[in-house]
Amino acid sequence: MLGPMPTPEANPKRPRAMFLALLLLTSSLLTLAGLEVAIRVLKGVGFSAVPDPAAGISMIGRVYPGSFDPNLGYVPTPGARAHNPIWNATAHITWEGTRSNGADAAPPQGVPIVTVGDSFTYGDEVNDRDTWPAKLQGLLARPIVNGGVFGYGFDQAVLRSEVLMQETDADFLIVSLIADDIARCEYSYRYSWKPYFDVEEGALVRRNMPVPSPQDAPIGESYLRRALRKSYLADFVLRRLDPTGWLVRGSVRVHERGEEVASLLVDRLADAAEEQGHGLLIVLQWLPETNSRRAGAMLKRARERDVLVLKIEGPLRSAIDSPAFSEDDFFNVTKHPGGGRQVGHMSAEGNAFVARAIAQHPSLQSP
């Protein structure tokens, strides 16, 4: 006769493993909580919410004077006026759809120079006369067309240059960008729908043409990203790991070939300059906390094509590190209670510095 079935022995290792896992989880959560508290103390923000970098931002008709454009996504609204109460700066858009250089004096006579780029060219946070294209106009005594547009990627800037070079009798083109503009080439939606390029068999292929209507909404954010946006620690980390993707709400990233696209866009610029016989200068702007290494492939391609490049980082860093100046002299800085600070766009003096550097470039010196 069979006796009672033996009961299985309990595994003494299982409770210990569960205890260690729970201990590790608790320790990790306490560490993250401690770091969150520490960064809030350092910033002096207490229990306040993380500022939403995209709150209220729309490139079409809300904060910025933008209008839908099926070719470029959006362009400055012709004849518009926009005032920024935080910086007490006012922007006027000409009836040609470019930023005014100020109405203090009549523009100089001569063959114009076209400038294109993002908000650093447009002149965010400063008045018309204090953008670097306006300062450059005074230094060169030549008419400068400020074709910079807030939020543009390198791809949009190149496409806009083609439009403006056709619409004007300019004989020189200045394409200005920050390294982050190369990452923007990877997006089909960034504050607004935009054109973008993909690469097939080593050649650029244009997508989103025509650009979708602004009424076509982008893909929404996940619940996880919404939760992470409440944390200063997550904001601090993700601003550095993926600045473009993190700072843009509701963005749509379609590929990760921004650097390859940027290199091929240099070819496009160089080919147009050779075909049309106009001068070309690429200006790589710089601001603190920007990873300039993303521009490496683009710069290499520019050297291969003998395209002239001016890098602002070296001389600007030297000026900031000198006893005579500081970062605050060249950038608009927002200071938070407790010592936190946010570096924004260039100040009037910063734009004047950039204009002087461009004016002194050999390509713009009179023969």
Residue 318 lies in a domain: yes
Domain CATH for 242: 3.40.50.1110
Helix (H, G, I), strand (E, B) or coil at 193: strand
Q: Give dist(CA 167, CA 96) in Å, integer.
A: 9
Report pLDDT for 34: 85
Residue 355 lies in a domain: yes
What residue has token string 């306490």? 30
Half-sphere exposure of 45 (CA within 13 A, CB side): 20
Residue 43 lies in a domain: no
Report pLDDT for 151: 93
Residue 296 lies in a domain: yes
- pTM, two decimal places: 0.81
Q: Give dist(CA 134, CA 100) in Å, integer.
A: 8
The count of domains in the chain is: 1
Report pLDDT for 42: 76
Name 154's Cβ contacts closer than 8 Å, sequence gap at least 6: 177, 181, 182, 184, 185, 261, 262, 265, 298
Report pLDDT for 179: 94
| Cis peptide, bond prior to residue 112, ω within 30 of zero | no
Burial environment of residue 366 by CB neighbours within 10 A (0 to 12, 13 to 18, 19 or more): exposed
Residue 2 lies in a domain: no
Q: Give dist(CA 330, CA 347) in Å, integer.
A: 5
The parent domain of residue 351 ranges over: 66-364
Name 250's Cβ contacts closer than 8 Å, sequence gap at least 6: 54, 189, 217, 218, 219, 220, 221
Q: Give dist(CA 65, CA 58) in Å, integer.
A: 9
Residue 267 lies in a domain: yes
Residue 197 lies in a domain: yes
Per-residue pLDDT 10s for the chain (367 aa) are: 555 555 555 556 677 777 777 878 888 888 888 888 887 887 777 777 776 555 556 777 666 889 999 999 999 999 999 887 767 889 999 999 999 999 876 789 999 999 999 999 999 999 999 999 999 999 999 999 999 999 999 999 999 999 999 999 999 999 999 999 999 999 999 888 999 999 999 999 999 999 998 877 665 656 677 777 778 888 778 766 666 566 656 688 999 999 999 999 999 999 999 999 999 999 999 988 777 888 999 999 999 999 999 999 999 999 999 998 988 899 988 776 666 677 889 999 999 999 999 999 999 986 5
Residue 150 lies in a domain: yes
Alpha helices in 74-145 (DSSP H): 119-122, 132-140
